[in-house]
């Protein structure tokens, strides 16, 4: 066979070649960018669905108690009674659960608010541990894969943001650091509803996963396992387990013990501010410098007379109490009030910051007796209380009829056998069982029965 003559054929174009040889393969879908979006970025062998679920279960129970006691704290202010009682305008249907706050048991607010504040601080290590355990989820890639995944991620962001906001503002409030861009009550109230909404959505997505994870390991076994025998979490679809774990430096038992020790330590330095008495000295995180020495008036205060603009003439010899109601008005001097039948009630002061005093012996005139002098019968209405306080919140308050009718509700003139000190409300203050401290108005100048402030 003759060889072909290629001179008459047109030249064939050479196949394109890259600088390194063969043609490149077709482009693949873009992976996660370098950094925390890559699963191998997170290398702790402890991180996984079981440990995350343990922290989640604690927060599920604790967060529910916090939310319920927070709602009770808000209800204790009787916010639907008068604008002056409520620092949370525009709540609308978010106030659906409100009810007349009772006066019995007299320590009710001391208990509910003490639990709320103490538990909130005790849960901080658990919250931080939970955030550590799920932080890879915040960087999962791609950010949005489906509408349900988008909703879950949004709920997670709102849950994390809402929880951090509530805990930070709560701790600042405990320390009396009012550095908020607005009222603490308003911010904390709406923050709580954002948190609980995201909390419920997150639970709906994660409860099945959490239940399955908790069943995968026995808590007793993990608590007996040292670091040298700690098993690595198998890869799963939660996105929490690293594909390239580092050698363990702590067991899950150690992680749980570390978090538990942190919570126990915070309990020991917090609980005393609500329990009071000798344990008050152990409350290292409670605001200090608020105890005005020893003696009958030597118990905790929040606001002093000077801090709210009380002047000498506001509480001097010319001070008068005006009592109005049922078309009558009468003015009383302090000496005239002391000449009325005096009654004594043993009641604590309990405040939203979580601190409370032991029972103090308050002596004064019953609010029900003052209502009778204003022309009301055996079932008097509520009363609007006004103070000489010139600045700051809660310069007035509205008390419900059940609070006026309680025989322990007093216009107090003395405490523990001595005249009120100026910082405790001299010449006269309100004291009502189970009432938040800010509603036990000090430096009272006017009582208007049957009116709404």
Is the pLDDT at 7 greater than 50, yes or no? no
Q: Would you list the domain boundaries of the chain?
A: 39-275, 306-449
What pLDDT is attached to residue 347? 97
Q: CA 185 to CA 230: how far, in whole Å?
A: 46
Return the ∠ at Cα 216 (arms to 214 and 222), rounded to 5°: 80
pLDDT-based confidence at residue 449 (cuts at 50, 70, 90): very high
Per CATH, the number for 306-449 is: 3.90.420.10
As given in the structure block, the two tokens for residue 339 are 């000449």
**Quick check: helix, strand or coil at residue 388?**
coil
30: Cβ contacts below 8 Å, ≥ 6 apart = none
Task: Please write the tens of the pLDDT for every residue from 68-119.
Answer: 999 999 999 998 888 778 867 778 888 888 899 999 999 999 999 999 999 9
pLDDT-based confidence at residue 315 (cuts at 50, 70, 90): very high
Return the ∠ at Cα 365 (arms to 360 and 366), rounded to 5°: 90
Task: Please write the tens of the pLDDT for every residue from 372-410.
Answer: 999 998 899 999 999 999 887 788 999 999 999 999 999
Task: Please write the tens of the pLDDT for every residue from 255-311.
Answer: 999 999 999 999 988 888 887 767 777 777 766 556 666 899 988 888 899 989 999
DSSP 48: S
**Cis amide leading into 213 (omega within 30):** no
As given in the structure block, the two tokens for residue 178 are 């009012």
**In angstroms, what is the C-alpha Rg of the chain?**
32
């Amino acid at each position: 066979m003759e060889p072909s003559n290629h001179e008459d054929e047109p030249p064939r174009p050479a196949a394109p070649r890259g600088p390194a040889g063969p043609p490149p393969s077709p482009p693949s879908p873009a992976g996660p960018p370098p950094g925390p979006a890559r699963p191998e970025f997170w290398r702790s062998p402890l991180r996984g669905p079981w440990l995350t679920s343990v922290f989640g279960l604690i927060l599920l129970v604790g967060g529910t108690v916090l939310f319920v006691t927070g709602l009770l704290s808000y209800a204790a202010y009787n916010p639907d009674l008068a604008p002056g009682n409520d620092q949370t305008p525009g709540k609308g249907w978010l106030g659906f659960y409100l009810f007349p706050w009772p006066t019995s048991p007299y320590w009710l607010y001391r208990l509910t608010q003490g639990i709320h504040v103490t538990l909130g601080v005790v849960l901080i290590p658990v919250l931080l541990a939970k955030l550590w355990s799920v932080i890879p989820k915040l960087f999962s890639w791609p950010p949005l894969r489906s509408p349900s995944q988008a909703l879950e991620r949004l709920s997670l962001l709102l849950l994390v943001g809402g929880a951090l906001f509530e805990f930070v503002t709560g701790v600042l409030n405990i320390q009396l650091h009012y550095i908020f861009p607005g009222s603490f009550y308003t911010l904390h109230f709406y923050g709580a509803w954002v948190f609980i909404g995201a909390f419920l959505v997150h639970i709906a997505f994660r409860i099945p996963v959490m239940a399955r994870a908790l069943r995968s390991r026995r808590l007793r076994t993990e608590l007996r396992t040292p670091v040298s025998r700690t098993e690595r979490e198998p890869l799963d679809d939660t996105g929490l387990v690293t594909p390239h774990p580092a050698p363990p430096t702590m067991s899950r038992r150690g992680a749980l013990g570390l978090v538990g020790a942190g919570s126990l330590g915070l309990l020991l330095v917090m609980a005393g501010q609500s329990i009071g008495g000798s344990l008050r000295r152990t409350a290292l995180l409670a605001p200090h410098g608020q105890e005005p020495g020893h003696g009958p008036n030597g118990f905790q205060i929040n606001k002093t007379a000077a801090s709210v603009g009380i002047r000498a003439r506001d509480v001097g010899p010319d001070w008068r109490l005006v009592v109005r109601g049922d078309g009558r008005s009468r003015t009383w001097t302090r000496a005239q009030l002391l000449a009325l039948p005096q009654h004594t009630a043993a009641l604590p002061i309990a405040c939203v910051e979580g601190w409370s005093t032991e029972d103090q012996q308050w002596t004064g005139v019953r609010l029900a007796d003052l209502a009778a002098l204003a022309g009301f019968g055996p079932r008097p209405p509520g009363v609007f209380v006004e103070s000489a306080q010139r600045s700051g919140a809660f310069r007035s308050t509205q008390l419900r009829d059940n609070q006026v009718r309680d025989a322990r509700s007093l216009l107090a003139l003395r405490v523990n056998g001595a005249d009120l000190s100026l910082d405790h409300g001299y010449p006269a203050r309100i004291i009502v069982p189970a009432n938040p401290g800010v509603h036990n108005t000090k430096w009272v100048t006017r009582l208007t029965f049957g009116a709404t402030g």
